[in-house]
């Protein structure tokens, strides 16, 4: 997950807000919290890391992503 955060920082996708590192996807009303103010990671971080790995390393043609209600904001 550290590699993903570094990549997002290098590409200037992250903004800093009250100690949190946030990413605003196009068209989103709320940001993804990539790094919490205490330095911890979130579901957003692990989900993006998993997606990145599947697309970049495994060369997935498509991805079906299913989450449960526990991840609803």
pLDDT in tens, 6-61: 999 999 999 999 999 999 999 999 999 999 999 999 999 999 999 999 999 999 99
Which segments of the chain are extended strands (E)? 14-17, 20-23, 32-35
What are 23's strand-pairing partners? 14, 32
pTM listed for this prediction? 0.82
Q: Which two tokens stand for residue 65?
A: 């992503």
Helices (H), ranges, the chain: 2-10, 43-56
Q: Helix or strand or coil: residue 10?
A: helix
Domain map (residue ranges) of the chain: 2-71
């Amino acid at each position: 997950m550290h590699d993903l955060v570094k990549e997002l920082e290098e590409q200037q996708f992250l903004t800093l807000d009250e100690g949190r590192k946030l990413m605003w996807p196009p068209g989103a009303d709320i940001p993804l919290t990539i790094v919490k103010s205490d330095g911890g990671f979130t579901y957003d971080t692990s989900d993006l890391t998993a997606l990145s790995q599947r697309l970049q390393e495994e060369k997935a043609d498509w991805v079906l992503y299913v989450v449960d209600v526990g991840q609803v904001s």
